[in-house]
Amino acid sequence: MLKQKIRMGMVGGGHGAFIGAVHRMAANLDGQIDLVCGAFSSDPARSVESGQALFLPDPRCYPSYQQMFEQEAQLPPAQRMQFVAIVTPNHMHFPVAKAALEAGFHVLSDKPATFDLAEALQLAEIIKKTGRLYGLTHTYNGYPLIKQAKHLVAQNALGNVTKVVVEYHQGWLADKSNDAGKQASWRIDPSKAGISCCMGDIGVHAANLAEYVTGSHISAMCADLGAVVPGRLLDDDGSIFLRFTNGARGVLLASQIAVGEENALRLRVYGEKASLDWSQQEPNTLVMKFNTLPSQIIRTGVGEFCANAQTATRTPAGHPEGYLEAFANIYKNFAAQISAFEAGQACDNSLFDTPGINEAIRGMAFIEQSVRASQSEQKWHTFSIKGQ
């Protein structure tokens, strides 16, 4: 039997949408996935035009996601899409995911997973009921050296982790004149973004990265969030003290008003014996530091790496791999997960190193609890998820 590529549909990401193009490039990078259909805009005409601009057949350029799911489900199994990528503003993540799962399709969604925590918990029940797969694009987990850092922590190369510092700084929202732009307007609108702008957009990435690498969960927080630019209803900057389940202390800094910063995501993990330092703007370098030994510079593709880091590395050493490749690793792993599902094999997210509904729920809980903690006069707030 001839092996086929995994067939993908897309909701959102039409003409002028930055992240839709990134998703499509990432999905296409390894030659495992074909974009076969889409509903690319809430405007029916714009949706169809966007699909045509991507050279999709006219019958599979849909005016709405509802029509796409209905008509795709009626196609022969060898033709219909197998999963949908959701690249809409936050308030549409849940209704689209729910409709897709209930129509029998797997889902790979942009983060944050839903508009609020209640929707994320409801989504978990829908996933369980439908038996479909669900993935979340926490892109930064896809970098090879992040996977190697996770491996080093798990192998106790650092000793017990005692302190975690994670920061994600951008400067693009420092100028209020940007608020009317397409990328900013929905992020600062509570009806579309949810309870938070900065923490919901990038702070949640930083929190996920800290938990992913350390293998420890945030257990408590003390937060200070706010809108630096006058007139905004949601936070554009924040600082959070953290405690982790392994006893480590931490700091999470996130800002979208840090003038001059681009996408300055940085993680430092300190242990009893050694520490790790990684920056997304130099993603092919991981520095391991000691008190009594010279620092070790670990470069992508040089030396021995764990299996997940090796799988995530595509090119020989010295050929830089970055954001698109990290994004593509999420897609590649999810495609392999779907193949395992269809072969009747074990396909849990953990087996394929794919962020899933557990990370989705923790992310939504982080966003909501950081906002509540910031609004409270109480110093420390326990991080907990009702029912879990």
- Collapsing DSSP to helix, strand or coil, 113 comes out as coil
**Residue in 37, 193, 216 with CA at minimum distance from that of residue 110:** 193
Q: What does the alpha-carbon distance between residue 165 and residue 270 come to, in Å, rounded to a whole number?
A: 8
Q: Across the chain, how many H-helices and E-strands are there?
A: 13, 14
Q: What does the alpha-carbon distance between residue 69 and residue 104 come to, in Å, rounded to a whole number?
A: 9
Burial 322-355 (b: 16+ CB within 10 A, else e): ebebbbbbbbbbbbbbbbbbeeeeebebeebbbb
Residue 4 contacts residue 31 (beta carbons within 8 Å): no
For residue 95, with 0-12 CB atoms within 10 Å meaning exposed, 13-18 middle and 19 or more buried, which class applies? middle
Query: Looking at residue 176, what is its pLDDT?
Result: 94
Query: Looking at residue 3, what is its pLDDT?
Result: 78
Query: Looking at residue 15, what is its pLDDT?
Result: 85
**Residue in 278, 203, 210 with CA at minimum distance from that of residue 248:** 210
Is the backbone of residue 37 left (phi > 0), alpha (psi -120 to 50) or beta?
Answer: beta
Tens digit of each residue's pLDDT (9 = 90 or more) over 272-286: 999 999 999 999 999
Q: What does the alpha-carbon distance between residue 106 and residue 234 come to, in Å, rounded to a whole number?
A: 32
CATH superfamily of 6-140+329-355: NAD(P)-binding Rossmann-like Domain (3.40.50.720)
Query: Looking at residue 1, what is its pLDDT?
Result: 47
pLDDT in tens, the chain (388 residues): 457 899 999 999 998 788 999 999 999 999 999 999 999 999 999 999 999 999 999 999 999 999 999 999 999 999 999 999 999 999 999 999 999 999 999 999 999 999 999 999 999 999 999 999 999 999 999 999 999 999 999 999 999 999 999 999 999 999 999 998 889 999 999 999 999 999 999 999 999 999 999 999 999 999 999 999 999 999 999 999 999 999 999 999 999 999 999 999 999 999 999 999 999 999 999 999 999 999 999 999 999 999 999 999 999 999 988 999 999 999 999 999 999 999 999 999 999 999 999 999 999 999 999 999 999 999 999 999 975 6
- Collapsing DSSP to helix, strand or coil, 128 comes out as helix
Residue 99 contacts residue 69 (beta carbons within 8 Å): yes
Query: Looking at residue 56, what is its pLDDT?
Result: 98
Q: Domain extents for the chain?
A: 6-140+329-355
Model's pTM, two decimal places? Answer: 0.96
CA trace torsion 212, 213, 216, 222 (10° rounding): -80
Query: Looking at residue 213, what is its pLDDT?
Result: 98
Contacts of 144 (CB under 8 A, 6+ apart): 300, 301, 305, 309, 310, 312, 313, 321
Residue 209 contacts residue 267 (beta carbons within 8 Å): yes
Q: What does the alpha-carbon distance between residue 207 and residue 260 come to, in Å, rounded to a whole number?
A: 23
- Collapsing DSSP to helix, strand or coil, 73 comes out as helix
